Amino acid sequence: MEVTKDTKIGELLMEDFACSSILMGAGMHCVGCPASQMETIEEACMVHGMDSEQLVNALNEYFAAKG
């Protein structure tokens, strides 16, 4: 999976729920919240005051390592 700042949190978690540990490690503890499922990574990062580029890179590294 290629993650972009426009990837929705719900899509990400449906692809591989284990990546939630990356989101939670970055401070997004609301990954289970129904409202977060329709947010893009960029929107969620804005709400949490995070750099979306950093999170996208971390997620892409995770998926690349999975093969």
For 14-61, how does the pLDDT look when each residue is reduced to its tens digit (9 = 90+)?
999 999 999 999 888 877 788 888 999 999 999 889 999 999 999 999
- Predicted local distance difference test score (pLDDT) of residue 27: 87
Query: Tell me, what's the pLDDT at 30?
Result: 78
Query: In the prediction, which pLDDT does 59 show?
Result: 97
Report whether 4 contacts 56 (CB < 8 A): yes
| pLDDT attached to residue 6 | 98
Q: How many CB atoms lie within 10 A of CB 3?
A: 20
In the predicted structure, residue 67 carries a pLDDT above the cut 90: no
Indicate the domain borders of the chain.
16-66
| Helix (H) or strand (E) run with residue 53 in it | helix 52-66
Q: What was the pLDDT predicted at 32?
A: 78
